[in-house]
Amino acid sequence: MLLKNVIKTLRKKWMQLVAIGFIIILSSATYTMMFYGLSGIEEPTEAYLADYNQEDFAVEMLNRVTLEEAAYPIAAALLARGFYSLSDIKKVEPATFYKLMENRIAEFEASYRDVSLELREYKNTSYTYQGQSHKALLVKAGETINLSYMEEGRKPSADDEVAVTKVYADKNGLTIGDVLILKTKSYRVTGFVLFPDYTLPMFDETFNLDTGLQTLLLMTDKAYENFDDKESFRLAGMNLTGESIDTTYDKDALPFVSQITDTQTTMRSGAIYDELTQGKVMALGLSVFIAAIAVIIVSILIYNLLHAERGQIGILKALGYRRSEIARPYFVAMMVFAALMLILGYFIGSLFSEPLKRLYLDFYLLPQVKIAQSFTVFATAILVPLLFFSLVSGIIIYRILGENALELLKPHEGKSINRIGRYLSRVLSKAKGSTKFKYLHAIKSTGSFFIFFLGIMFSTILMSFSFMMGGMVDRMTVDYLNKVDYEYEAYLDVTQRLPETRPGDEKFLIYPFASLDGNVVSLQGLSSRNKLYSLYDEEGNDITVNIQNGAVITKRLSIKLGLEEGDTIRLEVNDDTFPFIVKGVTDEYISEKVYLNIEKLSNILSDNSTSRLYSGIYASRKPSDAYYSTIISKSGLIEQSKAMANYTQFISNVMIGASAVIAASILFVLTSFTVEKNYYVISLLKVMGYKRREVNAMILNSYFVYALISYLISIPIALGILNLMMRFFTEEYGVILPLQYRPIFLLQTLAILVLIFFAGTYISRRKIAKIPLQEVLKSYQE
């Protein structure tokens, strides 16, 4: 009988229960979805990286002959012919190249004991497929480190065969046995490949991660060597002691080393470790945070429900009902409700864990297995929150029902004003009575006010992040490309004679092995009269002419090294130091680059023997393949960045939507509680002659002011977290995240917050309008 009465009472509060149920479901679903989604990646990834010997560290090295190596007889003749880069030397004399690599490995292993090194060779290429520009990283198969893993099919065994990544094949409709045309040559796809040192498809300095427009490639060793494109090298290492390697090194003993990077802090191979760890921590943190909100709101609901029925409960106790008999129906009803919502959240989370896993595998190049159910996840998502619900609910019910029958039959007297209220009453000591009432009653319940304030703050921070993420990928990739006027970037083929440049083509000179404050930077020579590739600062001013008497650096390099216009930088080239004054900073986040006058850079690289060196051209029309080994289309680069931009926009929209729903749910529940608790007060205000708008203002609008205060407090917190994130990525991975917070974001966030407030309080306002004046008379009659 008692249970039926409790259920009948709860049915009248179905809208509040729906809002509370949504919050409970969100808590369970968030944890379940994140843990199952990440576990479906983590377990096969750990086995794959261990079985196929992922490198423990990588040695980034100068792609040129050092002064010490120049003294070798095998290298002197090549230098005399003008071949100073390792890629050029390998093209003309492979035996000399491999001898130099053997010497470098021996020198490194002499300085670092208990390590094993292997040369990693790879080539960047681009091609057109189905009318779109695609790019690929052709990786030569490793012998002992970073072994290639075939997800399906077999490794290429003939020179006209190739293996690609599975995600690339799926997105482009490729199957095993299909033909892929690369550099005008046809290759038959034999299988789908992964490489342990490329768990994230970062093939260059750009942040283009579209796995539908770029892929890893595996060919036979002979086909790899015959494939003509820009080649790079590094040393992959294993630490035989099982400990992390010391990434500091003696520059004099190892002059060819530019950087030693630990796998855990390398984006292309180690970002997945932090992604998995931080993803689970974030899932647990969000779940606990949302569950805590739900627990407190449920406790407030039970508290209000029991106090609304104090008289009936007092009568039951007077009739001889024990405390446990009265408590049981309330406790059982709330626990069944919480359990059903948690179980529903668990199944919703399980349902969405597979799409979440696919979303991760849209960017990470990893094997996958089918997600399996886990009792640990089930227990954490359902039993742990349910335990907290039962403890909090039990304590509240036990305490209220602990009063004797006579006390319960008396009208409930509110508690004395809390500490926040005492402080606010002093602040409002000279305000009108209606103003005091307006702002004091909203903070009367410390728990309700805390949840409201925290919920608005959480939503504001989420919205701020979503706005700051907008345009981030474009700023990292294509914003600068949209400013320049060239259409093609072409690199010379050193094995062919120099071509005649066409009218309108602009030469450039690249030297990617310079050092600045211990960091490897790329030097690029341009003409100060360039039109196709001009340099622009943050305000959009053309500063190309500044390279005539100084240097211009990219924004990414400026942020990383803390450099500003007017600073003096000292560039190290071939053990010589050249000072330059920074004459400007380009609004470019793609690379860490220093722009110089092309003739000056040519003189530096040739020891003043010529001012006419160049690496390639910028052109408005596509150059001939006969003289250029690599031709990159600007439109293709822009197209490749769209997927990542769409992904970040999707995440931004999800964050805005989730924050809005959470805030609206909290507002609705708490304001409806406020209306119920002030039922007779509202009726009295109407009897006293207050109009509906005035009653709304006194009962609900104080929440709006507190929401604004929460909003203002949240902005600096969001900016502080933003700075921490940017610093983390810069220090850990060397990646600059160009997140921006513009003044317009303040207005956009505020506008959404206002909409949320009025949407969340709409039903409560309607309830106030429906409260009759007679309620106050009933109260006095009682």
> Is residue 677 included in any domain, yes or no?
yes
Asked whether the beta carbons of 474 and 727 are under 8 A apart, the reply is no
Query: Which tens digits make up the pLDDT trace of 421-447?
Result: 676 677 666 767 666 766 676 676 666
The verdict on 655 and 581 lying in the same domain is: no
> Is residue 61 included in any domain, yes or no?
no
> Is residue 467 included in any domain, yes or no?
yes
Query: So what's the pLDDT on residue 89?
Result: 82
d(CA 16, CA 18): 5
CB count within 10 Å of CB 422 equals 11
The verdict on 398 and 285 lying in the same domain is: yes
Is pLDDT of 778 > 60? no
The verdict on 493 and 586 lying in the same domain is: yes
The verdict on 473 and 488 lying in the same domain is: no
Token representation of residue 769:
């309008």
* Torsions phi, psi for 577 (to 5 deg): -115, 135
pTM over 0.75? The answer is no
Asked whether the beta carbons of 147 and 218 are under 8 A apart, the reply is no
d(CA 284, CA 287): 5
* E strand or H helix at 247: none
CA-wise closest residue to 708 among 655, 746, 651:
746
The verdict on 728 and 762 lying in the same domain is: yes
Which of the listed residues 413, 437, 453 is the one where a domain comes to its end? 413
Is 311 buried (19+), middle (13-18) or exposed (0-12) by CB count in 10 A?
A: middle
Query: So what's the pLDDT on residue 411?
Result: 57
Task: List the beta strands (DSSP E) in 97-139.
Answer: 115-129, 132-139
Instruction: Identify the residue with better confidence: 776 or 668.
Output: 668
The verdict on 490 and 508 lying in the same domain is: yes
The verdict on 454 and 501 lying in the same domain is: no
CA-wise closest residue to 271 among 350, 351, 157, 363:
363
What is the residue type of 720?
Answer: G
The verdict on 488 and 630 lying in the same domain is: yes
Which of the listed residues 565, 600, 634 is the one where a domain comes to its end? 634
> Is residue 104 included in any domain, yes or no?
no
Confidence of residue 725 (pLDDT cuts 50, 70, 90): confident
The verdict on 391 and 465 lying in the same domain is: no
The verdict on 327 and 301 lying in the same domain is: yes
Asked whether the beta carbons of 404 and 54 are under 8 A apart, the reply is no
Query: So what's the pLDDT on residue 781?
Result: 46
Distance spanning both ends of the chain, measured CA to CA: 26
Is pLDDT of 552 > 90? yes
Query: So what's the pLDDT on residue 73?
Result: 74
Query: Which tens digits make up the pLDDT trace of 56-78?
Result: 999 988 877 777 777 777 776 66
Instruction: Identify the residue with better confidence: 279 or 624.
Output: 624
With H, G, I as helix, E, B as strand and everything else as coil, classify residue 649: helix
| Average per-residue pLDDT for the chain | 80
Residue reference for tokens 């036979």: 220
The verdict on 629 and 652 lying in the same domain is: no
Number of independent structural domains in the chain: 4
Query: Which tens digits make up the pLDDT trace of 579-616?
Result: 999 999 998 887 889 999 999 998 888 878 888 888 88
Token representation of residue 90:
């390998």
d(CA 98, CA 78): 14
Query: Which tens digits make up the pLDDT trace of 94-104?
Result: 888 899 899 99
Which of the listed residues 359, 393, 413 is the one where a domain comes to its end? 413
> Is residue 546 included in any domain, yes or no?
yes
Is pLDDT of 776 > 60? no
Is pLDDT of 153 > 90? yes
> Is residue 195 included in any domain, yes or no?
yes
Q: Dmax of the chain from CA atoms?
A: 111
- Domain of residue 27, residue span: 1-42+270-413
Is pLDDT of 780 > 50? no
> Is residue 725 included in any domain, yes or no?
yes
> Is residue 111 included in any domain, yes or no?
no
d(CA 744, CA 679): 40
The verdict on 325 and 463 lying in the same domain is: no
